[in-house]
Amino acid sequence: MIHFPLSTKTVLRRQAWCIKIFVTLLMIGTGITGCSENSGATKEKGAEQGKQEGSQETQQPGSAGSRPVPVAFVEVAPTQIQYTEKLPGRVVSYRIAEIRPQVSGIIQARFFEEGSFVEQGEQLYQIDPARYQADLEVAQANLENAQATVNNALAIVGRYETLADINALSEQEFDNAKMELKQAQASVSQAEAEVKTAKINLAYTKVYAPISGFISPSSVTKGALVTQQQQEALATIRQLDPVFVDLSQSVGDAQQLKARLIESRIEERDDQEFEVSLFFAESGEPYPYKGKLDATDLAVDQQTGAIRLRSVFPNPDNLLLPGLFVRASIEDLSSSEALVVPQQSVTIGEGGKQHVWVIDKKDKVSKRAIQTGVAYEDKWVIEDGLQPGERVVVEGTMTLKDGAPVKPEKFSSQNQSDNNRGKPAKEAQQSGQAL
């Protein structure tokens, strides 16, 4: 192919056309970008306006567009309740016997197994009886001597009486004879008492169990010297069936209880009995046997500011040991009418303030501040803030706002059980759908 050289005029014309085409393409690209940006801004503005309108509708629960929230409620009514406050206490042995020797001597033998159960009257120790056997023999000899003296004095008085009748004897001698007879008789009585004392001391060399119960380890061994009425006990026996449980009740609590207890004690009424339930302090498990209130102190302890309540419990399995810390509740302490609501209906806000949601006659809810007292079963006793006949929301309180319309349905424990059973199934279905 043969190329002919272009003229200068033709070259300049082509360059001008290229510049025009480039400028036109640049202007078209700029216009398309501006249109897309305006369109995105318009869409974002529209979405934001939609959110604002939706939030305004949500913030106006009383408007025509808001839907009633389904809730479950209970109607407040006076209920007969019984306060069963758990009181602290300790287990005390029903009977305690500290074994001490009543005579001095050497321990010859020990007849019990330490820590075992011993019966009343069972021999525990044997103290060397040789000395006390000798004392008994001496006392018996003295008694025989005194009896012989009495026999001789009787014979003398008999002879002197015959002589006194014929005036062959002075009255002074006859009176002396009668006096000696009385002295001899007194010596016999004294000798008899000495024999009895010697027998008692000899019997004390055998140490017996005064009560039935579990005996502690022995503090002495065979061959040890013990003394009469020594301070240290040889062993201790504790009766553990039944046992006492001493409870402590503060003066400021249960005034009505103390008044009823004091009244029953003063009037000595046998029909006034209070049943006591016991709980182990560590595990909180209930004790399988019921007890009863046995005695109360009618005075306040100045150091603790409390009164002592003593109850009695059967202990056939020896689960209650002396010194064990327990808690107990006295049944039928104070029975009265009170307003109660389920504990799940009470919400605790800032500063520990308590409130509930109350439904008015137009089926709209409002937040109400209340004051609760003690707990009764799974409910709170209301002291202030509610009146009989008012409806309190129990379920569905999470999304409520003041003045919001609701769709009330009466609450029942059966509905709560159904909801609890249906919740795991629903969660399992949702997890299956997710998988």
- The pLDDT of 201-205, averaged and rounded, is 96
Domain coordinates in residue numbering, the chain: 69-79+337-434, 87-92+241-335, 101-226
Count of CB atoms situated within 10 Å of the CB of 284: 9
- Taking alpha carbons only, the member of 393, 394, 395, 386 closest to residue 363 is 393
At residue 57, the pLDDT reads 44
| Correct CATH for 69-79+337-434 of 2.40.420.20, 2.60.120.560, 3.20.190.10, 3.40.50.300 | 2.40.420.20
- Residue 384 pLDDT class (50, 70, 90 cuts): confident
Higher pLDDT, 5 or 133: 133
> Is 124 exposed, middle or buried (CB count within 10 Å of its CB: 0-12, 13-18, 19+)?
buried
In the predicted structure, residue 317 carries a pLDDT above the cut 60: yes
Mean pLDDT of the chain: 79
Least confident of 140-149, 169-178, 185-194, 373-382: 373-382
Take residue 260 and report the two structure tokens written for it: 């009823």
Report pLDDT digits (tens) over 326-347.
Answer: 998 877 655 567 788 998 899 8
- The pLDDT of 367-376, averaged and rounded, is 83
At residue 397, the pLDDT reads 86
At residue 10, the pLDDT reads 58
In the predicted structure, residue 47 carries a pLDDT above the cut 90: no
Tokens 């026996």 map to which residue?
A: 237
In the predicted structure, residue 40 carries a pLDDT above the cut 70: no
Q: Which of 53-57, 232-236, 400-404 has the highest mean pLDDT?
A: 232-236
Q: Rounded to whole angstroms, how far apart are CA atoms 364 and 407?
A: 9
Q: Rounded to whole angstroms, how far apart are CA atoms 27 and 32?
A: 9
At residue 383, the pLDDT reads 83
The proportion of the chain whose per-residue pLDDT surpasses 70, expressed as a percent, equals: 71
Q: Rounded to whole angstroms, how far apart are CA atoms 168 and 153?
A: 19
- The pLDDT of 132-140, averaged and rounded, is 95
At residue 262, the pLDDT reads 60
SS3 355: strand
- The pLDDT of 204-229, averaged and rounded, is 94
* Distance set, CA 87 to CA 248, 321, 425 (Å): 6, 18, 42
Higher pLDDT, 255 or 121: 121
In the predicted structure, residue 421 carries a pLDDT above the cut 60: no
In the predicted structure, residue 71 carries a pLDDT above the cut 50: yes
Q: Rounded to whole angstroms, how far apart are CA atoms 238 and 94?
A: 7
- Taking alpha carbons only, the member of 283, 382, 423, 430 closest to residue 79 is 382
Q: What 8-state DSSP symbol labels residue 289? A: S
Higher pLDDT, 204 or 382: 204
Take residue 402 and report the two structure tokens written for it: 């003041």
Q: What 8-state DSSP symbol labels residue 324? A: -
Report pLDDT digits (tens) over 111-126.
Answer: 999 999 999 999 999 9
| DSSP-derived pairing of the beta strands 275-280 and 225-226 | unpaired
At residue 78, the pLDDT reads 87
The topology under which CATH files domain 87-92+241-335 is Elongation Factor Tu (Ef-tu); domain 3 (2.40.30)
- The pLDDT of 25-32, averaged and rounded, is 59
* Distance set, CA 136 to CA 109, 116, 125, 197 (Å): 22, 35, 21, 8
Q: Rounded to whole angstroms, how far apart are CA atoms 357 and 402?
A: 9
* Phi, psi dihedrals of residue 225, rounded to the nearest 5°: -90, 125
In the predicted structure, residue 295 carries a pLDDT above the cut 90: no
The topology under which CATH files domain 101-226 is OB fold (Dihydrolipoamide Acetyltransferase, E2P) (2.40.50)
| DSSP-derived pairing of the beta strands 406-410 and 69-75 | parallel
In the predicted structure, residue 14 carries a pLDDT above the cut 50: yes
CB 272 within 8 A of CB 264: yes
Take residue 365 and report the two structure tokens written for it: 């809810």
In the predicted structure, residue 101 carries a pLDDT above the cut 70: yes
At residue 336, the pLDDT reads 62
At residue 390, the pLDDT reads 93
* Phi, psi dihedrals of residue 24, rounded to the nearest 5°: -65, -45
At residue 379, the pLDDT reads 85
- The pLDDT of 92-120, averaged and rounded, is 95
In the predicted structure, residue 18 carries a pLDDT above the cut 50: yes
At residue 52, the pLDDT reads 47
At residue 30, the pLDDT reads 54
At residue 268, the pLDDT reads 56
At residue 289, the pLDDT reads 93
* Distance set, CA 53 to CA 47, 56, 158, 164 (Å): 10, 5, 139, 144
Count of CB atoms situated within 10 Å of the CB of 340: 23
Q: Rounded to whole angstroms, how far apart are CA atoms 28 and 26?
A: 6
Higher pLDDT, 84 or 66: 66
CA angle 240, 241, 246 (to 5 degrees): 70
- The pLDDT of 28-45, averaged and rounded, is 50
Please state whether the peptide bond connecting residue 288 to the residue before it is cis, i.e. omega within 30 degrees of 0: no
Q: Is pTM, for the whole model, over 0.85? A: no
* Distance set, CA 121 to CA 212, 221, 365 (Å): 8, 21, 76
Q: Which of 62-71, 87-96, 274-283 has the highest mean pLDDT?
A: 87-96
